């Protein structure tokens, strides 16, 4: 927690925020609100992946469609290449960046994310997270299509330690609104 206000010098160099966490934890929604509140640009890795895929293959697909059509390996390689390119573009700039839920799992990506800015883990209550994830239908990366709870538990057991290790700060979230989460962020971290 920050107990003293930021100086002008800190605010000019301290606005490189990366939001990490599971799918549906609110990285995009919170990221947009936070970037507006801080007056910095918002970048979402999934959108950048779609642009890179369009540029590379001349094919317009959503990130979900890319994953489904080309498979996990292609998607994860595209993700790493996109992240690497974005990190060069964002160097020295202020931003809020939302990465994909699986982005931090790759060691190379973690190194890029650590160098890019402050990683903030949005740690959402398990039940709230499951409800949000299933609202959009069962994700293709869930290992047990007939058992979403088991799928989520298995993914959390693998991902939580990675998120926790990478994060400089963790925001524990239950059912707060995006505005409440941003205020919590600003009160506790900035």
pLDDT(8) > 50? no
pLDDT(131) > 90? yes
Query: Are 19 and 120 within 8 A, CB to CB?
Result: yes
pLDDT of 2 reads 35
- Note whether residue 41 is domain-resident: yes
- Note whether residue 2 is domain-resident: no
- Note whether residue 156 is domain-resident: yes
Stretch 161-175: mean pLDDT, rounded?
Answer: 95
| Structure tokens belonging to residue 1 | 């927690």
pLDDT of 35 reads 96
Counting the structural domains of the chain, the total is 1
Sign of the CA dihedral with 59 first, then 65, 67, and 68 last: negative
Range of the domain at 64: 8-188
pLDDT(110) > 70? yes
Burial class (CB in 10 A: 0-12, 13-18, 19+), 134: middle
Q: What is the CATH number of the domain that holds 134?
A: 3.40.50.300
- Note whether residue 3 is domain-resident: no
- Note whether residue 167 is domain-resident: yes
Helices vs. strands in the chain: H and E counts, helices first: 8, 5
5-9, 15-19, 62-66, 139-143: segment of lowest average pLDDT: 5-9
Report the distance separating Cα 148 and Cα 167, nearest Å.
26
List pLDDT tens digits, range 13-65: 468 999 999 999 999 999 999 999 999 999 999 999 999 999 999 999 999 89
Q: Is the pTM of this model over 0.75?
A: yes
pLDDT of 188 reads 82
- Note whether residue 177 is domain-resident: yes
């Amino acid at each position: 927690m920050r107990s003293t206000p930021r100086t002008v010098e800190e605010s000019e160099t301290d606005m490189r925020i990366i939001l990490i966490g599971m799918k549906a934890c609110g990285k995009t929604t919170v990221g947009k609100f936070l970037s507006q509140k801080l007056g910095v640009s918002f970048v979402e890795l999934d959108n950048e992946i779609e642009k890179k895929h369009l540029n590379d293959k001349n094919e317009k697909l959503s990130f979900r469609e890319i994953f489904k059509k080309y498979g996990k390996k292609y998607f994860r390689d595209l993700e790493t290449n996109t992240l690497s390119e974005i990190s060069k573009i964002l160097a020295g700039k202020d931003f809020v960046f939302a990465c994909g839920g699986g982005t931090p799992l790759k060691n190379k990506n973690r190194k890029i994310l650590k160098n890019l800015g402050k990683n903030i883990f949005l740690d959402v209550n398990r039940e709230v997270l499951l409800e949000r994830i299933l609202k959009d239908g069962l994700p293709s990366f869930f290992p047990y299509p007939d058992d979403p709870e088991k799928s989520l538990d298995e993914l959390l057991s693998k991902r939580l330690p990675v998120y926790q290790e990478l994060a400089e700060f963790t925001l524990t979230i239950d059912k707060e609104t995006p505005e409440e989460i941003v205020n919590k962020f600003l009160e506790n971290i900035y």
